[in-house]
Amino acid sequence: MASKTDNSIYIEAPIELVWRLTNDVRGWPDLFTEYASTEILHEEGDTVRFRLTMKPDDDGTVWTWVSERTVNPATRSVAAHRVETGPFVYMRIYWTFAPQGTGTLMRWRQEFEARPDAPFDDAGITKRINDNTAVQMAVIKKKVELAATTPA
């Protein structure tokens, strides 16, 4: 059964800065608290294929997978999907960025389906994704807003 999440956060920073920092896949281990490393596997035009490795979870498990992201600077949007789907039948992620007042509204929508043999069901992973997204968005907000106020 397909599941979806839809989360957004307001970041008090110009869209150009939010766009640049959040789409720098190489810098994600510094931006997100959950990622140990990113390895760029291929880049062509606005598309990057990369291996993402998470920090060990509470059980000591290290999760890793390959994803592909295509940025669209004209629409300030990103379409991504897992190439190595792991416990998912599929996992697609859409990011959008919109100027709002003096800041930026960043939105993440995810569509996915857990495999029947996954260690979680769709309801469980939906809750986990929503909970973790709130944590990661708050961290990103804090880091980007700090960068916006720090002289270059």
Report the pLDDT value the prediction gives residue 119, as an integer from 0 to 100. Answer: 86
Q: For each successive 10 residues of the chain (152 residues), what is the average pLDDT?
A: 94 98 97 97 98 93 95 98 95 98 97 91 92 97 96 73
Q: What is the phi/psi pair of residue 18, to 5°?
A: -60, -45
Q: Which residues of 112-141 are buried (b: 16+ CB within 10 A; e: fewer)?
A: bbbeeeeeeebeebbeebeeebeebbeebb
- Please give the pLDDT value at position 152: 67
Q: What is the topology classification, in CATH, of domain 3-149?
A: Alpha-D-Glucose-1,6-Bisphosphate; Chain A, domain 4 (3.30.530)
Q: What is the structure's pLDDT at 102?
A: 95
Structural domain spans, the chain: 3-149
